[in-house]
Amino acid sequence: MSPTTAPAGHAVVIGAGMAGLTIATALSTAFQRVTVLDRDQLPWQAKHRSGVPQGRHVHVLLAAGTQALEALYPGLTDELTAAGAPTGDIDRLRVCLNGHRLARARTGRHGVMASRPLIEAHVHDRVRRDPAVTVIDRREVRGLATSGDRRRVTGVRIGSPGDAGEQTLAAELVVDCSGRGSPLPAWLGELGYVGPPVDELPLDLCYATCRYHVPCEVDDDLMAMVGPMPDKARGAAMMRVEDGSWLVTLAAYGEQPPLEPHGFEAFAATLASDDIYRSLVRGQALEAPSAFRFPASVRHRYEHLGDFPAGLLAAGDAVCSFNPIYGQGMTVAALEAVTLGRLLADGVTPPAQRWFAAVSAIVDQPWGLALAADLALECVQGHRSLATRALNRYIARLHAAAAHDPELTRQFAQVTSLLEAPARLLRPATVARVARGALRRSTPPP
Ligand SMILES: Cc1cc2nc3c(=O)[nH]c(=O)nc-3n(C[C@H](O)[C@H](O)[C@H](O)COP(=O)(O)OP(=O)(O)OC[C@H]3O[C@@H](n4cnc5c(N)ncnc54)[C@H](O)[C@@H]3O)c2cc1C
């Protein structure tokens, strides 16, 4: 891969989703000008938009993501809270995994429950207030401009959606944050480069989401989650959001949860716990459910490419698109932006190889966690190594033990919220707690 020059001049970011906005903030510390281009018409307030159709569905911000966003935008959590986003200790989450309701654990950490449009609107507002950054909507990036020998990207070819006219916007650096449908592998092919190897786990995951009014006396928690079972790949999450309503997302592998109200609630009754169903039947649907289909988790291994044009990077879903039920995408995007800021502080734009190695190091843990959890489901087709099978048996025992052991819930949450490495759960003291839990269950009461 060719070296990249010292940061200066102009950087272009393709896409104003969570990755594009946070990456723009990181770039603005080193580049004189940063332009973010999005083909969508971007709203000024928290509103759904067609370029981010997933925004209608539950979007959990993991603790590591809250920390990363706070590092990029100090005071953001307070702003979201002031805008109505419910916050509270994680012990106000009701979580059922592998059929076990985990004991509530006090962590001292506050979670922020906000809709995806609210989070994006506040981040967008911060970016707009940065004098180095210009966000331009209704501009579609159609391709890359390069030097004559195609070794360096020199800008992007842009046009307005629906208009064939095209112009070139010059830049010293282009960062592709165009999301899961990124055209970057195709653009590389057109320039004569080999595209990245791709790791893919087919899931055929289907979402149905509906907003509900649920009175506080029925449900005073911040969130409830019921995970899928190995032999019944259905789950759900409901989250209280900024307007006081609840966003309820039903998820199933290989089948679409019903999109009409009665079927929607009946589906909730078939989950491993009736926790969510009980709230829904005493609440009231506020809209018709909407659907989303997620065919596969996809990871582009750009870090394995030996030849890549200078002046070009990628981040966010354009590199790795995770199974959404684990709530990792926004957190990973924010962690990548924090890392880019750190690398730029060295005074040079990281060469592609260094950047993609750093991204890969961030992606490894969430990708590994999601893959292992999906492979615990019988309906998911994929290679299960002995280690994966053993790990999934252990995690099922850990969930059973955590039903009576808040400390195990806390440790599990630390790992799944990306604050600690999975090895945390394999420490001797933790393994002993899990074993004691199994012993307690197998010992009949006197
Ligand atoms: C159903 C679902 C639920 C999810 N739930 C969660 C969750 O609970 N928690 C979580 O953290 N993450 C979740 N995610 C993932 C999360 O939405 C993304 O990982 C995260 O927002 C980062 O996305 P991104 O910015 O890379 O891409 P996107 O959000 O897809 O943004 C890409 C942007 O690029 C623009 N664009 C695309 N092509 C072009 C082009 N050629 N020219 C100009 N603009 C272009 C689009 O208009 C869009 O604005 C979920 C995803 C899905 C699908």
Indicate the average pLDDT of the chain. Answer: 94
**In the listed set 295, 325, 353, which residue is the last one of a domain according to the structure?**
295
Q: How many domains does the chain have?
A: 3
Q: 330: CA distance to ligand 1 center in Å?
A: 8
DSSP state of 90: G
Are residues 174 and 150 part of one domain? Answer: yes
Above 90 in pLDDT, residue 52?
no
Q: Which atom of ligand 1 is nearest to the CA of 237?
A: 8
Q: Which atom of ligand 1 is nearest to the CA of 183?
A: 41
Are residues 172 and 123 part of one domain? Answer: yes
Q: Is 335 in the pocket of ligand 1 (CB under 6 A)?
A: no
Q: Which atom of ligand 1 is nearest to the CA of 62?
A: 11
pLDDT for position 111: 81
- 61 contacts 70 by C-beta, under 8 angstroms: no
Above 70 in pLDDT, residue 47?
yes
- 186 contacts 141 by C-beta, under 8 angstroms: no
Q: Is 179 in the pocket of ligand 1 (CB under 6 A)?
A: yes
Q: How far apart are CA 166 and CA 169, in angstroms?
A: 10
Angle between helices 329-344 and 352-375 (to 10 degrees): 160
Residue of 42, 52, 166, 359 to mutate, ligand 1, most atoms within 8 A of C-beta:
52
The amino acid occupying position 114 is A
Q: Is 15 in the pocket of ligand 1 (CB under 6 A)?
A: yes
Is residue 166 a part of any domain in this protein?
yes
Are residues 138 and 36 part of one domain? Answer: yes
Q: 190: CA distance to ligand 1 center in Å?
A: 25
Are residues 354 and 215 part of one domain? Answer: no
**In the listed set 295, 310, 341, which residue is the last one of a domain according to the structure?**
295
Q: Is 336 in the pocket of ligand 1 (CB under 6 A)?
A: no
Q: What percent of the chain has pLDDT over 70?
A: 97
Are residues 366 and 262 part of one domain? Answer: no
Q: Is 51 in the pocket of ligand 1 (CB under 6 A)?
A: yes
In CATH, what number is assigned to the domain containing residue 270? 3.30.70.2450
Q: Is 329 in the pocket of ligand 1 (CB under 6 A)?
A: yes
Q: Is 117 in the pocket of ligand 1 (CB under 6 A)?
A: no
Q: Which atom of ligand 1 is nearest to the CA of 328?
A: 11
Q: Is 42 in the pocket of ligand 1 (CB under 6 A)?
A: no
Q: How far apart are CA 300 and CA 198, in angstroms?
A: 5
Are residues 282 and 143 part of one domain? Answer: no
Are residues 325 and 285 part of one domain? Answer: no
Q: How far apart are CA 132 and CA 126, in angstroms?
A: 12
**In the listed set 252, 277, 295, which residue is the last one of a domain according to the structure?**
295
Above 90 in pLDDT, residue 302?
yes
Q: How far apart are CA 337 and CA 228, in angstroms?
A: 32
- Residue nearest ligand 1's atom 44 by CA: 38
Are residues 151 and 52 part of one domain? Answer: yes
Q: Is 19 in the pocket of ligand 1 (CB under 6 A)?
A: yes
Q: Is 316 in the pocket of ligand 1 (CB under 6 A)?
A: yes
Supply the range of the domain harboring residue 191. 10-61+118-197+301-370
pLDDT for position 16: 97
Are residues 286 and 213 part of one domain? Answer: yes
Is residue 320 a part of any domain in this protein?
yes
Surface-to-core class of residue 306, CB atoms within 10 Å of its CB (0-12 exposed, 13-18 middle, 19+ buried)? exposed
Phi, psi of 389 (to 5 degrees): -60, -45
Q: 323: CA distance to ligand 1 center in Å?
A: 12
What pLDDT, in 10s, does the model give residues 338-355? Answer: 999 999 998 889 999 999
What pLDDT, in 10s, does the model give residues 101-125? Answer: 999 988 777 789 999 999 999 999 9
Is residue 24 a part of any domain in this protein?
yes
Are residues 408 and 395 part of one domain? Answer: yes
Taking alpha carbons only, the member of 244, 231, 237, 151 closest to residue 191 is 151
pLDDT for position 2: 44
Give 387-421 as a DSSP string.
HHHHHHHHHHHHHHHHTS-HHHHHHHHHHHTTSS-
Residue of 21, 37, 38 to mutate, ligand 1, most atoms within 8 A of C-beta:
38
Are residues 427 and 396 part of one domain? Answer: yes
Is residue 50 a part of any domain in this protein?
yes
